[in-house]
């Protein structure tokens, strides 16, 4: 129970990696705010699983590309668990479609950048006044942000590259306040993301290209988030940490 008594907010906590992060933080004793967007049922299921473990959690709808929704997320957090947040995890994001440059229009550009980058900036800005010394922010970038992504994913990769740079810059700004900021660069993780957007043979090829010869699991990513959220990583900030089974090295 390394996070006992702490309050965590996780965007995109309704499924896949976000759900695994919520459950892991709760197992370590944190009270968890589960933000969801696409399905109230998904958010409720995450809370149900946490409560079954004896933990505390609430599910809050928010479109984290909209400032009014973000403000409501902050207020719901304060109503449930008070005005101090110890852990902020920005998981929410998406690819939506694979498009070449010739296929990209302004609306698709705005969608990708808003969901993957704008959300991280403005959720963090909104919760920053609730964070204090010893708090931890964990952002989700991507292996794509390092290597440019697969076919038709250059905008997604660019948005995740922006998250990586934002993480480094914010670590410098918030470090004097005792707030740490790190990011993860997941590689091929077995989630609905790849079920929807990655062909099976591509997944097999990527898995075989890793040193461990397999895809990662959401729970393995969640374990790393919990480490970055806790005191054991107290001298780590400004890092973009690869978790890809040895697909690529920093």
Question: Residue ranges per domain, the chain?
Answer: 7-187+218-243
Of residues 249 and 16, more confidence is placed in 16
| Residue 81 structure tokens | 């668990």
156 part of the active site: yes
**pLDDT band of 207, cuts 50, 70, 90:** confident
Write the pLDDT tens digit of every residue in 145-168: 999 999 999 999 999 999 999 999
pLDDT at residue 89, rounded to an integer: 98
Strand partners, 184: 140, 241
Residue spans of alpha helices (H) in 101-141? 106-113, 119-127
| Residue 51 structure tokens | 């409560």
**pLDDT band of 198, cuts 50, 70, 90:** confident
Rounded average pLDDT over 19-34: 98
The answer to whether the beta carbons of residues 67 and 125 sit under 8 Å apart is no
> What CATH number matches the domain at 7-187+218-243, 3.30.530.20, 1.10.10.60, 3.40.50.720, 1.10.1050.10?
3.40.50.720
Q: What is the distance between the alpha carbons of residues 160 and 23, in angstroms, rounded to a whole number?
A: 24
As a whole-number percent, the residues of the chain with pLDDT over 90 amount to 87
Q: What is the distance between the alpha carbons of residues 250 and 199, in angstroms, rounded to a whole number?
A: 26
pLDDT at residue 199, rounded to an integer: 85
* Helix or strand run (H / E) with residue 57: strand 57-61
- Which stretch, 193-197, 236-240, 245-249, has highest mean pLDDT? 236-240
The answer to whether the beta carbons of residues 247 and 209 sit under 8 Å apart is yes
Q: State the CB neighbour count (10 A cutoff) for residue 40.
A: 12
Q: What is the distance between the alpha carbons of residues 178 and 146, in angstroms, rounded to a whole number?
A: 28
Active-site entry in 36, 109, 156, 227: 156
């Amino acid at each position: 129970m390394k996070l006992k008594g702490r309050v965590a907010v996780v965007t995109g906590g309704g499924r896949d990696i976000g759900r695994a992060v919520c459950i892991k933080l709760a197992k370590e004793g944190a009270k968890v705010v589960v933000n969801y967007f696409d399905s109230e049922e998904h958010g409720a299921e995450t809370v149900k699983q946490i409560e079954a473990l004896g933990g505390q959690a609430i599910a809050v709808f928010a479109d984290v590309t909209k400032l009014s929704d973000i403000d409501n997320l902050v207020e719901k957090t304060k109503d449930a668990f008070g005005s101090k947040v110890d852990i902020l995890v920005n998981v929410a994001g998406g690819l939506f479609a694979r498009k070449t440059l010739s296929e990209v229009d302004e609306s698709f550009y705005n969608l990708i950048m808003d969901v993957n980058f704008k959300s991280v900036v403005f959720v963090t800005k909104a919760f920053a006044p609730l964070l204090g010394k010893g708090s931890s922010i964990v952002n989700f970038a991507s292996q794509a942000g390092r290597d440019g992504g697969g076919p038709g994913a250059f905008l997604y990769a660019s948005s995740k590259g922006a998250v990586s740079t934002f993480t480094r810059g914010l670590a410098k700004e918030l470090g004097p306040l005792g707030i740490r900021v790190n990011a993860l660069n997941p590689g091929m993780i077995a989630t609905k993301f790849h079920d929807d957007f990655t062909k099976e043979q591509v997944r097999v090829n990527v898995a075989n290209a890793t040193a461990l010869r397999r895809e990662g699991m959401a729970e393995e990513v969640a374990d790393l988030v919990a480490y970055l959220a806790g005191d054991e990583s107290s001298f780590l900030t400004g890092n973009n940490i690869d978790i890809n089974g040895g697909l690529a090295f920093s």
